[in-house]
């Protein structure tokens, strides 16, 4: 329901609106159809992740990280365990590093498929959503085969992983990649080069590079503005420095650099780069015991660590403070989706309400990670 104030109206989009990508309320001030201000209201999905972490043991925090970015739980696990291993000076077996990167990149593809499919749905394209979800299901099948779960995995543990890869996993995964790569061309034919989609996204919601940097925007949203920054390349963790892959950036292909189309296009290109990393990892994965570095008791020495990793949404950071007990003194998560949402007001001013939906969808936010 709208509230009229002078010549302007205040409208609520959400928290039940299907286009808000989670339980989010946008308080939109409009002059007719033109947006003059947006205030995002958070907290509808708040579960006290950081406070919970101060009241459970280090290993019990891992299932809570799953539930933050629930569309990329493997990547959330990855960031936390890498930080913990740095704090405890644990060196994991090479096989564990390879398995983690395989799972992380599969989850990146699955997350981007959902982001792009739902983005098309926001703008009115229904068929690409069905095609992308069909292929995402095949990735979730592989996760289920490995650890028994399809969404929340608790798979990466401090010092290892919960389960080794099942028999013939490499063969199954290569079979999926052989099937999947030609599908990317089909997605482009269906959605990327669709005339209506281009008109709805090109030149809309431009985030200039300096604005993106000043708001702390990272990941595909930053690279869409032409800034070539990826934690996997610029601050390598695990064994990412062993793999050959490119960092796609926006090119202003159909409009202005940093528009909605560029953010969409970077994610589409990243899917191909993840396939490239997966083929290398599956080819070189060594044998070994995935549990040999698991500590009998997780009790890090007094101290703190901050470790950032590249999740599908960007620079995911964990700041962990240890007081020498089995329970963390403090766990702080740096959410890339939170910083992306913070620039929505500045980016959306002057656009129409229908364009705000396109801009919000192009940011690929997940409220579980924003509210924490």
Range from 20-24, 79-83, 160-164, 197-201 carrying the lowest mean pLDDT: 20-24
The yes-or-no verdict on residue 1 having pLDDT over 60 is no
Looking at residue 23, its pLDDT comes to 86
| CATH (domain of 244) | 1.10.645.10
Q: What is the mean pLDDT of the chain?
A: 92
pLDDT confidence of residue 124 = 87
Q: How many residues does the chain have?
A: 372
Residue 89, pLDDT > 80, answer: yes
Q: Which helix (H) or strand (E) holds 321?
A: strand 314-322
4 has a pLDDT exceeding 70:
no
By the 10 Å C-beta count (0-12 exposed, 13-18 middle, 19+ buried), 178 is classed as exposed
Query: What does the block give as tokens for 150?
Result: 């399809």
Asked if pLDDT for residue 214 goes beyond 90, the answer is: yes
260-287 pLDDT, tens digit each: 999 999 999 999 999 999 999 999 999 9
Q: Give me the domain span that covers residue 234.
A: 3-371
Question: For residue range 223-241, what is the model confidence (pLDDT) as tens digits?
Answer: 999 999 999 999 999 999 9
Residue 128 confidence (pLDDT):
92
Q: Which tens digits make up the pLDDT trace of 125-149?
A: 899 999 999 999 999 999 999 999 9
Tokens of 328: 């963390």
Q: Residue 368: what pLDDT?
A: 87
Q: How many domains does the chain have?
A: 1
Work out the pLDDT band at 65, boundaries 50, 70, 90: very high
Whole-model pTM: value is: 0.94
DSSP readout, 214-274?
A: HTT--HHHHHTTT----HHHHS--TTGGGS---------SSSSTTSHHHHHHHHHHHHHHH
The pLDDT score that the predictor gives to residue 30 is 93
Percent of the chain with pLDDT over 70: 97
The kind and range of the H/E element at 174 are helix 169-187
Two structure tokens written together for 46: 């708040």
pLDDT tier at 2 (50, 70, 90 boundaries)? low
Collect all residues with Cβ–Cβ distance below 8 Å to 127 and sequence separation of at least 6.
190
Residue 37 buriedness (CB in 10 A; 0-12 / 13-18 / 19+): middle
Instruction: Specify whether the CB–CB gap between 265 and 249 falls below 8 A.
Output: no
Query: How far is CA 210 from each of CA 85, 213, 249, 258, rounded to the nearest angstrom?
Result: 34, 5, 15, 11
Taking each helix axis from N to C end, the angle separating 169-187 and 127-147, rounded to the nearest 10 degrees, works out to 170
Tokens standing for residue 341: 């949402």
pLDDT at 18 exceeding the cut of 70: no
Q: Is pLDDT of 13 > 90?
A: no
């Amino acid at each position: 329901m709208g509230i009229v104030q002078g010549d302007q109206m205040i409208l609520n989009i959400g928290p039940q609106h299907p286009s808000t990508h989670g339980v989010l309320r946008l308080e939109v001030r409009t002059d007719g159809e033109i947006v003059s201000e947006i205030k995002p209201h958070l907290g509808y999905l708040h579960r006290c992740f950081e406070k919970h972490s101060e009241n459970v043991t280090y290993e019990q925090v891992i299932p809570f990280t799953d539930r933050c970015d629930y569309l990329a739980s493997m990547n959330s696990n990855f960031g936390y365990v890498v930080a913990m291993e740095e704090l405890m000076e644990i060196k994991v077996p090479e096989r564990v590093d390879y398995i983690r990167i395989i799972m992380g990149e599969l989850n990146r593809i699955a997350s981007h498929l959902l982001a792009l499919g739902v983005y098309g749905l926001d703008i009115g394209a229904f068929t690409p959503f069905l095609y992308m979800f069909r292929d995402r299901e095949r990735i979730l099948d592989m996760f289920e085969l490995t650890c028994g779960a399809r969404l929340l995995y608790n798979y990466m543990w401090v010092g290892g992983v919960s389960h080794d890869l099942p028999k013939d996993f490499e063969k199954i995964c290569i079979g999926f990649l052989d099937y999947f790569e030609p599908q990317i061309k089909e997605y482009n034919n269906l959605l990327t080069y669709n005339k209506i989609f281009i008109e709805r996204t090109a030149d809309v919601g431009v985030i200039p590079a300096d604005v993106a940097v000043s708001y702390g925007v990272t990941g595909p949203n930053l690279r869409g503005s032409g800034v070539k920054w990826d934690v996997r390349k610029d601050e390598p963790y695990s064994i990412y420095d062993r793999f050959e892959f490119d960092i796609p950036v926006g090119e202003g292909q159909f409009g202005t650099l940093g528009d909605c189309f560029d953010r969409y296009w970077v994610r589409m290109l990243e899917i191909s780069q993840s396939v490239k990393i997966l083929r290398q990892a599956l080819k070189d994965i060594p044998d070994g015991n995935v549990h040999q570095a698991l500590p009998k008791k997780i009790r890090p020495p007094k101290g703190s660590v901050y470790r950032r990793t590249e999740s599908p949404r960007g620079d995911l950071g964990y700041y962990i403070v240890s007081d020498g007990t089995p329970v963390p003194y403090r766990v702080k998560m740096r959410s890339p989706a939170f910083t992306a949402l913070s620039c929505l007001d500045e980016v959306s001013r002057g656009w129409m309400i229908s364009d705000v939906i396109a801009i919000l969808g192009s940011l690929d936010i997940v409220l579980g990670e924003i509210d924490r």
